Amino acid sequence: MKLQKEFDHLFENFTTGVVFHDAQSQVIFANPEALRLLGLTIDQMLGKNATDPHWRFIREDESLMPLNEFPVNQVLASGKPIKNLVIGIIRSDLTRPVWAMCNAHPEFDQAENIYQVIVNFTDVTDRRNATDQLKSSLQFTKDLIGSMKEGFIVIDSQWIIQDVNPAFCLMTGFSHEELVGQKIPYPYWPAEEVDYLKGVCDAKVLKVRESLELIFMRKDGTRFPIIASPSLVKNAKGEIVSYISSITDISERKEAELKIKAALEESKSAAIIKSRFLDTAAHELRTPVSAFSLLLQLTQKKLEQGIAVEMPILIRMRKQVDRISDLVVELMDVSRLERGVLNLKLKKTDIASMIASCLDDFRLRAPKRPMHFIQPEHPIEITIDPLRINQVISNLIDNALKYSFEDTPIKVSITTTQTHLCVSVKDQGHGITEEKQKDLFAPFSRGSDDLTDKSGGLGLGLFISREIITLHGGTMGVRSTIGEGSTFYFELPLDKK
């Protein structure tokens, strides 16, 4: 009797639920923990067999468990015990299932027939919920990493790639399968960077939480800059088990930096050009102003003394005024061009006659210089702004006179194709280096930076000329060889017939 009481006390206080079934699966005993787990009273339990509707179990994947998989039915059918079967208990009083680890074994009589099955249940609901939360958290993390615009890579302590996200695959052009399992050197390492990157790994630089700027290679062989932001994952012993890192493609940032750098250089260059222009403009304006001032003083003295002013003095004064006027006109033209308000007054013009007239004017200014004009036999009419095109031709001829030897000829020619007309001005001067040709048509560009250069000018003539030709839908250029001279030319579209 005492032993029975001890046995009853033991089962009643067991933290594991225990249920005894007879050979027909009817319940013949259930301890309090079993009643708690199943959510039933002892009256509801006793005498019930495995087919009773009170029993509703689900599998570990939360699908409904059929009767033949109930623990007691499995044991009765097989005659063998079952171990560590996780089942979910559906109870009407709870919204969530109770999870239990189930073990069951048969008891045999002397004839080796099963006379009862003992089933025990251990409550694992908290563990299951924690596992579900962990799975949910892992899935959330996986989804989050999968949706990242930045690349993400996981490498184990042996430097073997364990995982990469879609963004990393898109970034490098390699598939997930092509990357996972790869060892050093990785396929996205450029050949020329392998030694450096191996050094990074060997030195355990990735142990430090700092960003690394590196060069990666796409599957098609193209290189691109990235920033890697590595972190470490350690186990409970403090040992490194993996390296994880976000990878950011910084190609656009690098391109922006280059553009900013170029803009700064351009701004710096513009500032230098502006400063040089101001020096040049001051010099160019001071010269005629000084000359005009001296001539004006001379004229004033003569008039005060009652002496007549000679015509050569007046001519020299007029020449200085004209020079100042030309400089001011150039500056106004540049201002109009920059503001887009230099308007053309187009009309049909015999360009050959216009050039011939322009040459006649220059022959009066430089009577000793041979000037030749090669033109087609027939007149060429073209729709242009005659004043502006005459300005261009005058500038080219004037430059040819300035930058060539006094006894050498100037040759102006007109040639045509079916669609275009070309005007060229050739001299036999020193020629222009390829380096200077690059900036020849830039504003404030002069053949010389020396302010004492006798050729003078603000360096705006060719810039204005090219812009005028561009406004006419044409192009302008130069061909030059050192020691042989230069040929400046422009092409204009002919009128459509």
Which domains, ranges and CATH numbers included, belong to the chain? 2-130 (3.30.450.20), 148-249 (3.30.450.20), 258-339 (1.10.287.130), 347-493 (3.30.565.10)
Distance CA 411, CA 259 (A): 43
Predicted structure pTM score: 0.43
* Long-range contacts of residues 279-287, Cβ cutoff 8 Å, at least 24 apart: 279/451, 280/444, 280/446, 280/451, 280/458, 280/459, 281/327, 281/331, 281/458, 283/451, 284/327, 284/456, 284/457, 284/458, 285/324, 285/327, 287/323, 287/456
Per the prediction, the chain carries an average pLDDT of 82
| pLDDT value for 75 | 93
What value does the mean pLDDT take over residues 220-241? 84
For residues 415 and 494, the answer to whether their CB atoms sit within 8 Å is no
Tokens of 212: 């690394």
Q: What is the pLDDT of residues 356-376, one digit of tens each?
A: 998 988 888 888 899 999 988
* Per-residue pLDDT tens over the stretch 44-103: 888 888 877 778 899 999 999 999 999 999 999 999 999 999 999 998 888 889 999 999
Q: In this predicted model, which residue has the larger pLDDT, 367 or 312?
A: 367
- Across the range 300-320, mean pLDDT stands at 73
Look at residue 32 and tell me whether its pLDDT is greater than 80.
Answer: yes
Identify whether the C-beta of residue 366 lies closer than 8 Å to the C-beta of residue 455: no
Bigger pLDDT: 95 or 233?
95
pLDDT band for 449, please (50, 70, 90 cuts): very low
pLDDT greater than 50 at residue 450: no
